[in-house]
Amino acid sequence: MRRTAAALLAVGFGLAAAIGVAGPAMADSEPIATGGWPYRVVVSPDGSRVYATVALVGGGEVAVIDPATSTVLQHAPVGAEPIGLTTDSTGRWIYVANSGSNTISVLDADAGFAVAATIPTDAQPYEVWLSDDATLWVVNRAGASVQRFDVTDPGTPGAAVTIPMDQLPTGITGSPDGAYVFVSRSGGSLMSRISTADNSVVTSAGGLLDQAYTVEMFAGLVYATSWVAHEITVVDPDTLTRVGGFASDVVTRGMAMSPDGSRLYVALDGSASVRIIDPATLAVTPVPDPAPVTFAVRPNPDGVAVNPFTGDVFVGNHQGASVSRAGTPSIVAPVDVTVTDGETATFSTRFHATVDSYRWQVSRNGGASWTDIPGTEVPVYNYDTDPNPSYSLPATLADDGAQFRVVVDAVLFGGEVESDAAVLTVNEVLAPTGADAEELFTSLGVGAVLIAAGVLVRTRARLRRT
């Protein structure tokens, strides 16, 4: 798979190349089926795995996903109705908040994602945040509390230290230095700051957040999405006052920032899409963008995570029973095809990650140059109606040795990407002649020879050698 020079340059321009793309700009390619109801997603520290919490009837699990192949490698059982999760810096330990069983499951990746410990919590643990790999913070929504646990030894966690926190705490995040934890409280539209040194709490004035859902810290500011308000609120962590926001036309859910800080990805629950926001457009009094830049996912997107190495975006689709991947497309290359003169040759492919269009190309000079095949362009790709894009042609001897490839366009993620080429071999059908024919007539009889004449194949290359 290759990317064009223009595509490589386009990556550096961020959203500039995408301005003017309104509505869902790209269709979702092959969702990663998880089953159940996915909530949050996180990427392992080394980028090699993606984890998604999945609620099941009467239980729950963590889907372990290989981002290179967009496949689920394992379903690791946890407690009921898992929602929030996080990993330590090594990637070995995964902490999962089981809101339906009032526990935290501690998974050991080195032991096949077995549960190494189960930590009891107050009612309805919703989100978790890990400080310096040593302290696990848990928001308990129905329990109206925040709890911290010493997880220096994850297999034997310490006793809970409970900090009362009424008004339905829902989201939690922390400062990069680990000095403070920030908690959104949807019941009172509040935000609280907790000192990790002494557990002291400072709370904002009411009305700061309109029923906040999730909170994250990016570039020294705290961002909050909302259960109800069509807006992302941005808060100064020192003063706990609003410094700006971004307007949305639907309810906002999970969010994540690109590695370079140029793109904020926000799940839009009511539109089955993810919006891309330029953080530089932060406004004290935001107004709806008349042409928001978005890409389509599956119903009720919730958690969002970004691979820090590739920039790929992963989205848990709560009602879509899947995880969507957006980023530089990965193409399953078409394979070489061999047919007989006059038969139909078919080349097939699959796409991982989001693309908005594709077309097929042919080369008849060993790949030195490529030509678009008329009639093969699909300007708006949709996985549901076209899961295995293919191109078929009635092969002739003139097509022998031709190469075929597919070119996809990902407007928001780097431009065009080309698949590896597949080679078409076309064999010629010839009736037996000379000594071959006499031998067949003698040994098999006329009827058998007539049948053999229809199936005996000699390639043109073999004829040239003889």
- Full-model pTM: 0.84
For residue 421, is pLDDT > 50? yes
Residue 206's pLDDT is: 81
Summarised one tens digit per residue, pLDDT across range 5-63 is 233 323 333 333 333 334 444 555 789 999 999 999 999 999 999 999 999 998 999 99
The fraction of the chain above a pLDDT of 70, given in percent, is 86
* C-alpha to C-alpha distance for 143 and 153, rounded to whole angstroms: 26
Grade residue 329 by pLDDT with cuts at 50, 70 and 90. confident
Residue 407's pLDDT is: 97
User: Domain 30-325 falls in which CATH fold?
Assistant: Methylamine Dehydrogenase; Chain H (2.130.10)
Contact 277, 264 (CB under 8 A): yes
* C-alpha to C-alpha distance for 453 and 431, rounded to whole angstroms: 5
For residue 336, is pLDDT > 90? yes
Token pair of 391 as six digits = 């191109």
CATH 2.130.10.10 segments of the chain: 30-325
C-alpha closest to that of 249 among 210, 291, 278, 221: 291
Amino acid sitting at position 322: S
Any bridge partners for residue 41, and if so which? 52
Which region among 228-232, 251-255, 322-326, 395-399 has the lowest average model confidence (pLDDT)? 228-232
For residue 232, is pLDDT > 50? yes
Contact 171, 224 (CB under 8 A): yes
Helices of type H across 395-445: 434-444
For residue 448, is pLDDT > 60? no
Q: CA geometry: angle at 211 spanning 293 and 295, to 5°?
A: 15
Grade residue 441 by pLDDT with cuts at 50, 70 and 90. low
Q: Which CATH superfamily is domain 330-426 in?
A: Immunoglobulins (2.60.40.10)
Grade residue 443 by pLDDT with cuts at 50, 70 and 90. low
Token pair of 182 as six digits = 């920030």
Does the CA dihedral 43-15-3-348 come out positive or negative?
positive
Mean pLDDT throughout 76-80?
98
* C-alpha to C-alpha distance for 164 and 24, rounded to whole angstroms: 42
CATH 2.60.40.10 segments of the chain: 330-426
How much is the mean pLDDT over the chain? 86
Residue 229's pLDDT is: 74
Which region among 102-111, 188-197, 456-465 has the lowest average model confidence (pLDDT)? 456-465
Residue 445's pLDDT is: 56
Which region among 94-108, 114-128, 257-271 has the lowest average model confidence (pLDDT)? 257-271
